[in-house]
Amino acid sequence: MLGTWVLQPTGYKAFIPSKFPPSEDLFRFDTEGEVLHANAAHLLGKLDGITQLLPDLDFFLFMYLRKEATLSNQIEGTRATLIDALEDEAQLAEDLPADVKKIQQYVQALNYGLQRLDTLPLSLRLIREMHSHLLTDIGDERFSPGEFRTSQNWIGGATPNTATYVPPPVNELERCLDDFEKFFHAENTIVPCTSSISTCSI
């Protein structure tokens, strides 16, 4: 198993990931999972091939970052669209939704992270720096710019008890993040994937 659902003191269950990288074959998929894994690998290969054919990779990244920023912010309830973000950046319109600024902050944070990679490897420190840039001038200290969360969050539902997914509680967060950072920088990492595909190199 990749983790377990653990009952918390207040009555909801939070997902606690197993130690990572796994020391055993925790990535053994059923038939449906293997099909999804194969399709994902195929699509990633197609994307990699397409990038070799693009006449202007920088323009592709320019648009992709803004589309990603728009979609991510819409999850949070923003009404601004990709067109709004482009018009705002080009100063082509003035009567745009107020939350278009959130999209621009997202783009700025992503660009900051990409530039910072020249001097700092992908790390928890870089993630905190990007988080700080993302929440600059947000006007709400509850978000603690540049810091990892100190309270429980969840996806879907009004409370953790009715949520679709509850991530690790705060007391497990440090271990999970530490596992991620060490795994990402481990050399020649081999992760077992499925019963038919023995290993996946990272």
pLDDT for residue 171 is more than 90: yes
Cis-peptide, bond into residue 55, ω within 30° of zero: no
Task: Give the per-residue pLDDT at 8.
Answer: 94
Higher pLDDT, 27 or 57: 57
Task: Give the per-residue pLDDT at 11.
Answer: 93
Residue type, 137: D
- CA dist 46 and 92 (Å) reads 35
**Which uninterrupted H or E stretch holds 201?**
strand 199-201
Q: Is the separation of the CB atoms in 3 and 18 below 8 Å? A: yes
Residue type, 108: Q
Q: Is the separation of the CB atoms in 133 and 109 below 8 Å? A: yes
The single residue listed with the structure tokens 């990572």 is 20
pLDDT for residue 120 is more than 90: yes
Q: Is the separation of the CB atoms in 180 and 19 below 8 Å? A: no
Closest CA to 14 of 181, 142, 173, 148: 173
The single residue listed with the structure tokens 């323009």 is 59
State pLDDT tens for residues 38-48: 999 999 999 88
**Which uninterrupted H or E stretch holds 140?**
none
Task: Give the per-residue pLDDT at 79.
Answer: 80
pLDDT for residue 7 is more than 90: yes
pLDDT for residue 187 is more than 80: no
**Full DSSP string of 141-180:** GGG-TTS--SS---BSSSSGGG-SB----HHHHHHHHHHH
Domain ranges of the chain: 3-201
